[in-house]
Amino acid sequence: MDEKRQILAILESARQSLAQTLPDVSDEQARATPTAGALCLGGILKHVTYGETIWIDFVLDGEKVDHLDRYAASFRMAPHETVTSLLDDYAATAKRTEEVVAALPELDTAHRLAEAPWYPPDTAWSAREVLLHILEETAQHAGHADIIKESLPAR
């Protein structure tokens, strides 16, 4: 198995670990914030979907556009959103990532990150670094989701 397939396999298990917290919760439970923090299950899934989308845009376009309003909104489920619609969006995003990465000739090509207070100056990220970053974000948020799911009032 080549490096790309190995990283994608681990990313897929992290996605499943996150997504499996959702199918058996109601839309109302997906909006609930049962821990000390402000996170809800639906918001986590939406946020991770958003992050994966813009990072893959960066791999494709060499430019990462931080939409601060979309970023903030990504932690909350909008009134029209449902667990099903969020899971569908997530699956579509994953499929796109798999296709984009499969088509990359290698993972070493790096693009500069835009100047922003949250990145070190003059930083360039390769596709490998982006994929590792998506994996890390997904896994860490899956950890949040585990505890939030466990903290939901008895279902």
Partner 1 sequence: MTERDDLLESLAAHRGFLRHTVSGITDEQARQRLTVSELTLGGLIKHVAKTEKGWADFVVDGPQTMEMTEASYAEHADGFVLREDETLEGVLAEYEKIAQRTDELVRTVDLDATQPLPDAPWFPPNATRSARRVFVHVVAETAQHAGHADILRETLDGQKTMG
Q: What residue ranges bind partner 1 (CB under 8 A)?
A: 1, 3, 6-7, 9-10, 13-14, 17, 35-37, 107, 126, 128-129, 132, 135-137, 139-148, 150-151
Answer yes or no: are the C-beta atoms of 127 and 6 closer than 8 Å. no
For the CB of residue 105, give the shortest distance to partner 1 in the complex, in Å. Answer: 16
Answer yes or no: are the C-beta atoms of 51 and 137 closer than 8 Å. yes
Nearer to partner 1, 88 or 102 (CB): 102
Nearer to partner 1, 88 or 136 (CB): 136
For the CB of residue 6, give the shortest distance to partner 1 in the complex, in Å. Answer: 4
Match 């994996």 to its residue by tokens: 135
- 134 CB contacts (<8 Å, ≥6 apart)? 11, 51, 52, 55, 56, 97
Nearer to partner 1, 84 or 116 (CB): 116
- In angstroms, rounded to a whole number, what is the distance separating the alpha carbons of residues 84 and 20? 12
